[in-house]
């Protein structure tokens, strides 16, 4: 029983780590045989926890980053992709595409960096994470069942 509890704690922790994301954690945990509902719930909670911290502490982070790197900042491929999504679809598009294309943490940071308000960023990231957690859980559960026979 204790081993199972640690597996669920690990799901929460891995989902909270940027770049691992729910898109990897949920299918792997379900493939391992963990409960799809609990996996989706804990993955959402873990990922949301660090995204929410990023949103809340963004101004401080941005100021620290400016001091550390200077005024000029080189644009990465992910940030370019994020800005293209932002320009075309706004914050909702960025938040909804984030888990698949650039990662939730990067999507939140780009949205905040482009002037989105904390409340709207939090709302749209929450909607996105709930939606994608459900999609990944259902698709993984039924997809693995289909291939198992």
What ranges do the domains of the chain cover? 2-148
Q: What is the pLDDT of residue 124?
A: 96
Q: Which residue has the tokens 């491929």?
A: 77
Residue range 96-110: average pLDDT?
91
Q: What is the pLDDT of residue 148?
A: 60
User: How far is residue 63 from each of residues 67, 68, 121, measured CA to CA in Å?
Assistant: 6, 9, 19
Confidence of residue 85 (pLDDT cuts 50, 70, 90): confident
Residue range 60-88: average pLDDT?
76
Lowest-pLDDT range, 17-26, 69-78, 98-107, 122-131?
A: 69-78
More confident residue, 127 or 72: 127
Q: Where are the alpha helices (DSSP H) in 17-102?
A: 21-32, 36-56, 58-69, 77-101
DSSP-derived 3-state class of residue 65: helix
């Amino acid at each position: 029983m204790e081993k199972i509890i640690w597996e669920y704690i690990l799901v929460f922790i891995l989902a909270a780590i940027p770049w691992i994301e729910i898109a990897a954690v949920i299918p792997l945990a379900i493939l391992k045989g963990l409960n799809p509902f609990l996996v989706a719930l804990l993955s959402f909670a873990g990922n949301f926890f660090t995204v929410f911290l990023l949103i809340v502490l963004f101004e401080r982070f941005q100021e620290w980053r400016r001091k550390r790197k200077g005024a000029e900042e080189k644009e990465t491929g992910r940030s370019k992709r994020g800005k293209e999504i932002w320009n075309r679809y706004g914050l909702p598009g960025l938040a909804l595409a984030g888990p698949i294309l650039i990662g939730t943490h990067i999507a939140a940071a780009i949205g905040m960096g482009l002037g989105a308000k904390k409340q709207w960023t939090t709302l749209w990231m929450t909607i996105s994470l709930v939606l994608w957690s459900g999609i990944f859980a259902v698709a993984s559960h039924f997809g693995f069942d289909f291939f198992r026979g």
